[in-house]
Structure formats: structure tokens, C-alpha cells
Amino acid sequence: MDPLDLVDLERFPLREPNSARWLQVVAQARLDITAIGAAEISDFLTPDGVAAMVADAEALAPRGHRSGGRGGVYLEQPGAQWPEGHPRLHRMDYGVSAVGYDVIPSASPLRALYESEELTRFIEAIIDRGPLYHYADPCGALNLAVMTEGDELQWHFDQTDFVVSLAIQSAERGGDFEVVPRIRSRADESYDAVSRVLRGEHQDVVTLAMTPGTLLIFEGRNSLHRVSPIHGVRRRHVGLLAYDTTATTVSSEELRRTRYGRSEAFATPPVSWPVS
């Protein structure tokens, strides 16, 4: 299978880097990131590509490791220096299942697309920060995030500069990707503005459609964001494609245990699940 057959190559000519259309798409994505911290590339996949990804995601979903509980905005264990009511102490419910890279078979179209050189070069051009590498973590390089009835992701900031996601299947209701663009900066944490959002003042919240087939490049370190609660029996599937500007970055063993239920990755993806 050629993973680029899943992509609408007329609109997004990944095989023709530096062609006029390729450069146009890259330039628009850069403008969008500058404006709102996100480039939402709709209909990146063809309808047949979406169908193939959905079938793949449904088959992979049982391999996911379930995590949930109460999560913080800053994805950290807060210190004692913060006063009561401070946003660094705020906790909210979350729930999600993650299918790790090490259990995604090589025949998976999601894996094949992630590993394609053409997609990496396309994202590299949009990010414009020099060479990009596939994240070196054997569990975290590629994930399928699976969310079902009652799941959600709390308001939070990412700990990485950017995240690349591929919308595969929407929930029946809910599961909206909601963002407050550029609410903080390196110079100003804007705790008062963050607190207002946490209190339910959502006038500055932007909802990104994330319709199936959408490729999203998102700078989540300074943009507060969440996934609203899921309703209905249909699973929400999103592929999370991890890249880094260095070739050796990995997650901690503690993070692997929390997110994937194991600290040691499988040497090769299991043929079937559960592994006997």
C-alpha cells in the first residue's frame, strides 16, 4: 500500500515538493499558525482514505491502554508555593485510551502515512524550524487516541512546541476541539485570563472543526485547549503524529507506564491482541 494514495494529492501534492500548489498550501498553513497557533488542513484525506483509516482505527482500538482521573492544566505536579484557587492547582476530569506506536502493525495505513518521508517533509516545511525527525520514543512516536461515551480531555497546555493530529472519526455528539489561541507567552503566563476560562468564561474559545480527514498542526504550548465530553456509542478516533527537531527525544518510563500501561516497548508490533 502506498500511503499517499490516502491523500488528496490534487489539493496537497506531497509527491511534488516546491511545486506551485505545494508552496501555496505551505504558505497558507504558516499564516494560519502565525494568526491562531494552528493550521487546520481540511479534507487532507480522500473519502476512501478516511474509510481506510476508520477501519484501521476500529481494529486498533482494543489495543489501547485506558487512563483517566483528574488532570491539571499544566500537566505537572504543582508545588506548594501556589495559593488556593491558582490555575496551577486546578484539576478536571479526563479519560482517553491510547494505542501506542509499538503495537500498531506495519500494515496499518495510519502507521504507513506517519512513516512516509513525503509527509514529514510537508510538515517540516510548514513548521519551518529546520529538519524534523520522527519522535524516537518507541511507544509515543505515533498514537491513536480513542475516546468513548463520557471521555474528555481537560483544559491544558502541551509541554511540546507543536502537535500534529489526524482526525479519523468523530463522536456522535461532543468531542469538540476547543482552543483559546495564544492565551499565554514565554513572557506572560496570563494566569488571570486562564482562570477566567476555567471558571467557564468562554468568549475567547475557538472550536476547530476537526472533521474526519483533517490534518491539524497545532502549537499547544501557549494555547489553552481541551476536548469536550463525548456522547453516543460511536468512538472518536484521532491519530497523533509526533515529530521533534532532535533525533533522539524519548518519553520517560513513568509517562509510558501512565499512558500505555508499560515502560518497555514491544520489539515488534504484535500480530494479535491481547498478547499471550
Residue type, 11: R
Residue given cell 482562570 in the structure block: 195
What's the topology of domain 3-260?
A: Jelly Rolls (2.60.120)
CA distance 185 to 162: 14
- Give 10-residue mean pLDDT values along the chain (276 residues): 94 97 98 93 98 98 95 82 90 96 96 97 96 92 97 92 94 96 94 96 92 95 94 97 90 83 91 84
H/E run at residue 72: strand 65-72
Say what the pTM is.
0.94
Per-residue confidence (pLDDT) for residue 276, from 0 to 100: 67
Domain-wise residue ranges, the chain: 3-260
- The sign of the torsion formed by the CA atoms of 116, 122, 125, 129 equals negative
At 218, phi and psi to the nearest 5?
-135, 130
CB crowding 173-200: b at 16 or more within 10 Å, else e: ebbbbbbbbbbbeeeebbeebbebbbee
Asked whether the beta carbons of 219 and 160 are under 8 A apart, the reply is: no
Q: Strand runs (DSSP E) across 148-264, as ranges?
A: 153-156, 163-169, 173-174, 177-180, 206-208, 215-218, 224-227, 230-231, 236-241, 243-244
Cell of 135: 519522535
